[in-house]
Amino acid sequence: MDPTLDLSLFEAGSRTGGVIHTESADGFILDHGADMFATQPPAAIELIRELGLENQLIEPELTRRGARIVHRGRLVPVPEGFVLMRATAWLPMLTTPLLGVTGKLRFFAERFVPPLREDRDESVSEFVLRRMGRQVLERIVAPLAAGIYTADIQKLSMRATMGPIVAMEQRYGSLAKAAAARRRSGEDSIERSSSGARYGKFRSFPGGMKQFLDSLAEKLPKGTIHLHCPIERLERCEGQKGGNGRWRVHLQDETSQEFDEVVVAVPPQVASGLLRPLSAAAASELDSIEMASAAIVALGVPRTQISEDIDTFGFVVPLSENRRILAGSFASHKFAGRAPEGQVIIRVFIGGAMQSELLQHTDPELIQIAREELGELIGLTGEPTLARVVRWNDAMPQYHLGHLDRVERIEQEMEKIEGLSLVNNGLHGVGIAPVITQAGRVAQKVIERLARSCDSTSGDDVGVGTGS
């Protein structure tokens, strides 16, 4: 007999979605966090199909795709076919002004660099320096990686963040040989027309990513979601239901509820606090996952106030440029309908692991910093039509060296605690699709355990509590 799920989701805040949120104001649609999701891994797109939402998806504007890198104060296109860490086409690397002669020679010598023979985790910095040299690292890879992870690339784990690249080196001996093999097989057909990111593999919704979250919430039974309900602690109720034991979830309003299964779906440090009385080892490992903070300055500006050509999706900024911003994204160029006619949305990213001191500025000061930087880079002038500052404090997990081993230890500890599961972006990927992949696996395990429990207890109803 299939169990009947009595599901409750406890949300500490005033809305669901966490860092995913969309604001509509004065004709602008502003995503406060991620503004699109990847179709690979496929878990996100599969969930959207299951919800019946696939026909609502929109693709990035193909005529404006691409990214640029600030080089000597100018926005230079990422070489076509260069995707994050590897080149799928050689001529653009030969002609790009991002690299000098020595940098290009060092890059083309990559095919002769032997693969790493030691079984150890390398940092992104160490890997790229070893294989492609300092210019490729500092002028191309580092700013592209920082745009995703807001991280210190000298600490960022290759295995945890770019495992497929490590696998290519191990299989083919070099990234150049891997690219040649993938070109012959047709595997890199999308990448060869991309620059910086594979935009053809991303999707969004007309109303922003909040549209996805709202649709998901609407599919849940009425009364499932409980807002303004932070969880105080978790307690095992031993000796009930044939000795299996249930869980009592204590809320901060001094009430409590009991469940057969609990999924802790909160950031690593919050999860650590809830798990410490149950597994000091798991809590300690979660505490060791460092977090970075960032601010997004969103500006709505008339197109006539921008003097430079910005017919692209955005740009990233190397640290060597000594600027006060990490990246800029022209959100209204990615997807149609994001801004009123004649207006542009620019999202400017500030802070991260390497420039955290900038976040001490007030919101008006951050807006001024963004305007000054954009004035120098794209010729922005005048007053913005709309300005917002979104701060995400301790929101970005840092996948430092040894991260995969750390995650393995956490999961080994969690396996010892029956009926308790963990999901967050500090484990198996920071993006929407990897987190949904992780959540799907956890959900399947929960359902399987509940089915076994139901068989042994004559089909009693069961409850699932999700702390978030």
Residue-range domain boundaries for the chain: 5-16+227-289+401-467, 22-33+37-63+291-396, 79-195
Q: How far apart are CA 161 and CA 313, in angstroms?
A: 23
* Residues 6 or more apart in contact with residue 66 via CB below 8 angstroms: 77, 78, 80, 194, 195, 196, 199, 312, 313
360-408 pLDDT, tens digit each: 999 999 999 999 999 999 999 999 999 999 999 999 999 999 999 999 9
Q: Note whether 22-33+37-63+291-396 and 79-195 share their fold.
A: no
Query: Distance of CA 56 to CAs 21, 33, 41, 52, 217, Å?
Result: 18, 20, 20, 9, 16
Dihedral of the alpha carbons of 87, 90, 91, 95, in degrees to the nearest 10: 60
DSSP 86-128: EES-SHHHHH-TTS-HHHHHHHHGGGGSPPP-S--PPBHHHHH
Residue (of 155, 151, 171) closest to 122 by Cα position: 155
| pLDDT per residue of the chain (468 residues) written in tens, 0 to 9 | 345 788 999 999 999 999 999 999 999 999 999 999 999 999 999 999 999 999 999 999 877 778 999 999 999 999 998 987 889 889 999 999 999 999 999 999 999 999 998 889 999 999 999 999 999 999 999 999 888 889 999 999 999 999 999 999 999 999 999 999 988 887 765 554 455 456 678 999 999 999 999 999 999 999 999 999 999 999 998 654 444 568 999 999 999 999 999 999 999 999 999 999 999 999 999 999 999 999 999 999 999 999 987 888 999 999 999 999 999 999 999 998 999 999 999 999 999 999 999 999 999 999 999 999 999 999 999 999 999 999 999 999 999 999 999 999 999 999 999 999 999 999 999 999 999 999 999 999 999 988 887 765 544 443 344 444
DSSP state of 455: H
Q: How far apart are CA 167 and CA 184, in angstroms?
A: 18
Q: How far apart are CA 69 and CA 108, in angstroms?
A: 20
Residue (of 45, 453, 78) closest to 244 by Cα position: 453
Say if residues 331 and 30 touch (Cβ distance below 8 Å).
yes
Pick the CATH number of 22-33+37-63+291-396 from 3.90.660.20, 3.30.450.20, 3.40.605.10, 3.40.50.1370: 3.90.660.20
* Residues 6 or more apart in contact with residue 158 via CB below 8 angstroms: 121, 122, 123, 124, 126, 127, 165, 166
Phi-psi region of 131 (alpha: psi -120 to 50; beta: other; left: phi over 0): alpha
Q: How far apart are CA 275 and CA 289, in angstroms?
A: 15
- pTM score: 0.91
Whether a cis peptide bond, with omega within 30° of 0, leads into 384 is: no
Say if residues 331 and 35 touch (Cβ distance below 8 Å).
yes
76-94 pLDDT, tens digit each: 999 998 987 889 889 999 9
Amino acid at site 379: G
Q: Which residue has the tokens 């919101």?
A: 363
Q: b vs e for 333-358, b when ≥16 Cβ sit within 10 Å of the residue's Cβ?
A: bbbeebbbeebbbbbbbbbbbbbeeb
Q: Tell me the CATH number for domain 5-16+227-289+401-467.
A: 3.50.50.60
Query: Distance of CA 83 to CAs 86, 223, 335, 427, Å?
Result: 6, 44, 21, 24
CATH H-level, domain 79-195: superfamily: protoporphyrinogen ix oxidase, domain 3 (1.10.3110.10)
- DSSP H stretches of helix in 263-354: 268-275, 280-287, 331-334
